Structure 1
C-alpha cells in the first residue's frame, strides 16, 4: 500500500494526541487584505467584491488529494474574483501546525477539519461561527444526515459545514470465500453468519479475521462493536468515560476471542491485517472507506465491500466526517470571509465529484443522485450514514480517545484482561476529562 495513504489513515480518525492543541491561542488568518468595504452578498450565496486570494489547508495526501485539487482548480476557473491556493500536510502535522500558524498570521483562511476536532478549535477561538451560512443558504438538518449535521455544532452554534462521511466498512475476499465453500456474493451480515463463515474458512486453512491491537483498525473495530452492543465511549454529555461497561467488556472479549479461537494470529502488526487481506491470507477485514480506491489498484484481488456485519444487538459503525471551517481573521477581512463561504458552498454542491475519492457525500441530494449510485463500492457504505457512531462534540478529546485505544491495545495484546484494561483506561480518561473541563471551561 502507498506509504502516504498509510500515514494519512492514522489521523483520519481521532486526532491521536491532538487534544494537545493545548497551545491553541486566539488565531488570525494570514494575508491581511483589501481595505475595500464588505462585499455584496453573504452566507455563501455570491461574492461581487474585489479579487481576493484565499489560503486553504487540508490533509488529503492520498489519491483524494488529486481529486480535491482538481475541484479547487475548477472553482478558480469559474470565479475570476476568488483565487484559492491549496496547502496540503500530513494530518498528524496539520492539526499541530494550525494553531501556531493561525496565531502568527501565517495560517489559512479555510481549514478542512475532522468532526471530532471542531469543538477543540472552536473552544479556543481558532475557527469562526458559520450559522449565517446555513441560514442564508437555507441549509437544514433535512439536507444532510442528522448525525453529520449535528456534529458541526458546538455550544449550539455551527462551526463546520459537513462535506462527507467516511465510515469503517466490511471488506471480504471472494476467492478465499469460494475456496471455503462460501457464497462469494453473499457476505455474512449477522453474528451467526459471521462466526459460521469463520469456521468454514478455518477448515480451509485460512485465519479469516485478523484482529489488530492498534487504532487502525482493531481499535476502530472495537469502537464499532462497543456501539453495536449498546455501549458508548462517554456518557451523553461527554463528561465521564463509560467504555468499561458490561457491553464494552463483552464486545472486547468477543473480538479478542478471535485470536483464542484461531481466526487471527496474535500480535498482529500495524496494517498487517489489511496487507494480509490484499495478499490472500485474510478473508475479512474491517477498514475505512478510503481503502476502496487502493484495492481498485490491485486487479489480482477479488474483493467486495459491504456494511459492517451486525455482531451486537444493533447496527453501528465507526465514522468521522470532513467539515469546512473558516479560520478567524485578525484583520476581520469581510471580503475574504464572504469569498470563503462561497467556496465552501460551491464545493459542498460539487461533492459528487469528491465522492469518487472514497467518501460518502454529506448532502442528501448528492447521495440520491444517479451519479453517486453508479459509484457501486462507495455507495455500498452509504447506508451506514444513518447509524454511524460519530465522536461527541466536546473539546480536547484527542488524548482521551488515545487512552481508549491504548486500553484496547493492552487487552488485545494480553497484557491485561479486557475488564482490567478498560477499567484502568476509564480511570485515566476521567482524569483527562476533568482536566479538559478546567482547560476549556466546559
Structure 2
C-alpha cells in the first residue's frame, strides 16, 4: 500500500473506517492500474477444459503440445488493454500452447468465494501487503517448490524488502509487481521567503520543525499557508514510526507500542495542539476543493508523499507549479537514520489453481525480468518504479533527479509486517492516530490498547 495516490478529500487525517479501502486499493496508484472492472460473474467462474489439469510435479509442460487456457485476474480498463498488448501477448508468443484468458478482477470477496468453491483463476493480482494474511489462511499456493527447481527466478533479482513482503514463514507466495516509496517534497520558494536555504532541506525532525514554523502563515481564523502537517498525504503513523526509528514487528510479535512509535505519535499530536487542529482542518478543506495534491498549490512547505505524484506533472492539467521545488529523503528523528517504506502489488497463484505448472510459467514471466522490463518501458510508465534493480538501471531511472531520490531509497526501504493480522495492525494504527490528534487519549495508552487488540486478533487468526 498503494501507497495511495492523493485524491480530493484525502488530505484530512484518515479515520480507521477508511483503512480497509486503503489496503484493497493498494499503494501509489502506480503501474497504470485501473480500479474499474467489467467482467460478469459468468466470466469469472468459467474454467478451462478439466482434461488439461496439470499433473502433480512442478515440471513445466510448455513443450508438450498440450493446449491450456489460464484464467488471469487483473485490473480492468486501460490497464487490461495495455497489459494484454505489451506483456501477455509476448508470453503467448513464447508459449504457443498456453492461452491467457483475461478476466477483470471483481474484488477480494469474489476471489475468496471462488477459492472456497474450488474454481479460482490461475493467476490473480494481489496487494503485496496482503500476502501474509492470504497465505496464513491457505488461500494461496506456495511458489517455493517451483522456485527450488527453477533457476530463472532468484531473490537477489529484487529489492530485499519487496521480496520479503512476498514471502510468509520462509515460503514464497507471490511474485512482486511494481513498487513505490515515500520521500519529502519541499517548496524552495516558500523556504526562500522564510529566510531558509532552499538548497538545504531539513534532514532531522528538529530541523523540519524549525523550518516549518517559519513557513506557517495565518489569515483570519485559519492559515494562508502551512509549513508541515505530519499526517498529510503519506504521513501515516506507519511513516512517522519508521522515521523515529520504531519497529512495527519484532520477529512474529507485532509492536505498535514500540517506544519510538509512541514518541512519533506524541510528536504528531504536538502539531495538532500547537497549530490548532480546527485551523488545520479548515486549511485542508480549502485544499480539498482545489482537486489537486495540496503540495502543487504552492501553499505547503513540506509534505511526505510517493514517487507517483511526480506523474501529476504530465497527467493532470491542473498541476502547473509556479514555484521552485525539490525532493529529498524524509527527515529522521535526531540520532536515527533517514529511511522510507515501500508498498506495491504482486501476482499470486490462488489455492486450487487448475493449471499450476503453466501458471508458474506465466508468473515467472510477468513477475520476472522479461515481463517487468516490457511493462517498465511502456510509453506512459512515467515515474513508476519496478521491483527489480536491474530493470530500473536499464531504464535509466536515476537520470531523472527527483525520481532518483526514490530509486536510491529502495535498497533500505521498510515494508509493513508480513502477518495474518496485518489489516488489524493497519486499522489500529489509524484508530490510535485519530484519537491522539483529536485529543481523545494519550499516545502511549492508545498504542498499548492497539497492541492488546492486535495480539488478540493474531491469536484468533493463528489458533489451530
Q: Does 1:217 align with 2:234?
A: yes
Structure 1 residues 397 and 166, CA gap change in structure 2 (3 angstroms): same
Structure 1 residues 197 and 327, CA gap change in structure 2 (3 angstroms): same
Would you say the 8 A contact 1:125–1:328 is kept in 2? yes
Would you say the 8 A contact 2:188–2:199 is kept in 1? yes
**Residues in 2 aligned to 1:109 and 1:252: alpha-carbon distance in whole angstroms:** 43
Structure 1 residues 293 and 47, CA gap change in structure 2 (3 angstroms): farther
1:50 CA drift (Å) = 4.1
Q: Secondary structure at the match of 1:379?
A: helix
* 2:331 paired residue number: 309
Pick from 358, 383, 387: which aligns with 2:408? Answer: 383
Pick from 228, 248, 256: which aligns with 2:243? Answer: 228
Pick from 326, 331, 350: which aligns with 1:327? Answer: 350
* 1:169 paired residue number: 183
Would you say the 8 A contact 2:245–2:260 is kept in 1? yes
- The residue correspondences of 1:77-116 to structure 2 (distance < 5 A) are 78-79=93-94, 80-88=96-104, 94-104=107-117, 107-116=120-129
Deviations 1:56-100 (A, max 9, x none): 223587x877764553455367445444344445xxx72233211
* 1:280 paired residue number: 298
1:411 CA drift (Å) = 0.6
Structure 2: tracts of 5 or more residues without a match: 11-17, 27-43, 219-223
Deviations 1:413-438 (A, max 9, x none): 22212222222222222222222222
* 2:455 paired residue number: 430
* 2:263 paired residue number: 250
1:118 CA drift (Å) = 0.9
* 1:371 paired residue number: 396
Q: Secondary structure at the match of 2:107?
A: helix
Deviations 1:328-347 (A, max 9, x none): 33545644554454444342
Q: Secondary structure at the match of 1:207?
A: strand
Would you say the 8 A contact 1:112–1:325 is kept in 2? yes
Structure 1: tracts of 5 or more residues without a match: 18-27
* 1:21 paired residue number: none
- The residue correspondences of 1:132-211 to structure 2 (distance < 5 A) are 132-135=145-148, 136-202=150-216, 206-211=225-230
**Residues in 1 aligned to 2:194 and 2:453: alpha-carbon distance in whole angstroms:** 44
**Residues in 2 aligned to 1:111 and 1:37: alpha-carbon distance in whole angstroms:** 18
Structure 1 residues 337 and 360, CA gap change in structure 2 (3 angstroms): closer
Deviations 1:369-425 (A, max 9, x none): 253334543332012222222122222321232112211111112221222222222
Would you say the 8 A contact 1:202–1:263 is kept in 2? no
Would you say the 8 A contact 2:119–2:353 is kept in 1? no
Would you say the 8 A contact 2:58–2:357 is kept in 1? no
- The residue correspondences of 1:249-268 to structure 2 (distance < 5 A) are 249-262=262-275, 265-267=279-281
- The residue correspondences of 1:10-49 to structure 2 (distance < 5 A) are 14=23, 31-33=47-49, 35-36=51-52, 49=65
* 1:350 paired residue number: 374
Which has the larger displacement, 334-343 or 301-310?
Answer: 334-343
When normalised by structure 1's length, the TM-score is: 0.79
1:5 CA drift (Å) = 6.7
1:177 CA drift (Å) = 3.1
**Residues in 2 aligned to 1:150 and 1:35: alpha-carbon distance in whole angstroms:** 36
* 1:71 paired residue number: 86
Q: Does 1:402 align with 2:427?
A: yes
When normalised by structure 2's length, the TM-score is: 0.75
**Residues in 1 aligned to 2:175 and 2:59: alpha-carbon distance in whole angstroms:** 12
1:277 CA drift (Å) = 2.0
Q: Secondary structure at the match of 2:372?
A: helix
Would you say the 8 A contact 2:123–2:359 is kept in 1? no
Pick from 37, 46, 69: which aligns with 1:53? Answer: 69
Structure 1 residues 64 and 370, CA gap change in structure 2 (3 angstroms): same
Would you say the 8 A contact 1:16–1:399 is kept in 2? no
